[in-house]
Structure 1
């Protein structure tokens, strides 16, 4: 791992993922989580403050980067759910959780980066209880042809600069192709964000 990946990428990603438009997107879905919760790619714990302590019993926070886990532990200490957070320092492609043990999976601004997103979503499917939900908020491929063309041009360099982040993934389609039924979907271009990086989709999906 080079100096850029070790020091620059985490700082840039953390800044982008805590911008005001992105934080507003997180606030639209995270408070809906209930019961035993799985969060993929918790990063530095950006979502922790949005969880409703009256609604969740346990939060399984998955994050493969040791430095991010250290930051997330610090973040968790200052929240009302501090005693309910269990960290899993691993990738989302292989989870150390029992089958049908999770009520809600939270996936926010992470499907763009997970290398093997298909395996990660299969794991989410495995650990969700019957009737369990996926709450998601992501960015991805824009519906406007001119924006999409720019995304396709920029993406090869963008991935190298920003930790493997893809601009052209389609979160709702990814969920549908992984055996989920998307029963709520909203989209918009995020304000104060370049259009090539700011087409957002959010909502909820259930096991189909």
Structure 2
């Protein structure tokens, strides 16, 4: 599944990226500063969008995605290092990064709470977390549809959950929300959050 997903991800997402998502990514990533950690880099679609930071360390567990990401690594305006690793156990010391970027990833990780705790650990106190994610919608009809589709969708889309309340998870795990933008009637959110001083 990992090889097939890596092969089809960019072609399937291209229309959405061109019309909507790339613009949202660019707006969010303009806030990435200093030493940046990107969680779940996928095919490296964010790499050309970094321009205000010093360097980017990008982790990705899927080796087939890593191969795709290496192509975009050469297009980056800042130095990018790609590390094959899982987000639930980040191979970095505490208080190491100024910014952490997570775009369309927390829907797919096995344990989002563990991932957020790991992000808190490696993010400097008062460091910035930048998240772009689809979430469970507030409207009962849409939310019910998301619940109904998720079991099948997970198998088709490499573990993606349509119904995770990621924005709520951020607050529950101690992040201070600095800004929140909604897109597509609240199906997608762009969140900038701060890692509070422990």
Per-residue CA distance 1:31-78 (angstroms, 9 max, x = gap)? 2100000000001110011111xx211211010011111111121112
Report matched runs for 1:105-184 at 5 Å. 105-184=100-179
Q: Which runs of 4+ in 1 moved over 6 A?
A: none
CA 1:162–1:178 in structure 2 vs 1: closer, same or farther (change >3 Å)? same
> What's the RMSD between the two structures over aligned residues?
1.6
Tell me how far 1:143 sits from its aligned partner.
1.4
1:204 — aligned with what?
Answer: 192
1:42 — aligned with what?
Answer: 41
The whole-number CA distance in structure 2 between the counterparts of 1:142 and 1:119 is 23
Q: Choose the corresponding residue for 2:72, options 64, 72, 75.
A: 75
Tell me how far 1:12 sits from its aligned partner.
3.8
Per-residue CA distance 1:114-164 (angstroms, 9 max, x = gap)? 111111111110011111010111101111111111111111001011100
Question: For this pair of structures, how many residues does the alignment match?
Answer: 193
Tell me how far 1:201 sits from its aligned partner.
0.5
The whole-number CA distance in structure 2 between the counterparts of 1:99 and 1:40 is 16
CA 1:34–1:113 in structure 2 vs 1: closer, same or farther (change >3 Å)? same
The whole-number CA distance in structure 2 between the counterparts of 1:179 and 1:125 is 9
Asked whether the 8 Å contact 2:6–2:43 carries over to 1, the reply is no
Per-residue CA distance 1:154-198 (angstroms, 9 max, x = gap)? 1100101110000011121111111111121111217xxxxxxx8
Unaligned runs of 5+ in 2: none
CA 1:114–1:16 in structure 2 vs 1: closer, same or farther (change >3 Å)? farther
Tell me how far 1:22 sits from its aligned partner.
1.7
Q: Choose the corresponding residue for 1:103, options 98, 112, 126.
A: 98
Asked whether the 8 Å contact 2:47–2:75 carries over to 1, the reply is no
Could you state the TM-score of these two structures normalised by the residue count of structure 2?
Answer: 0.91
Asked whether the 8 Å contact 1:125–1:207 carries over to 2, the reply is yes
Tell me how far 1:11 sits from its aligned partner.
3.4
Tell me how far 1:85 sits from its aligned partner.
1.1
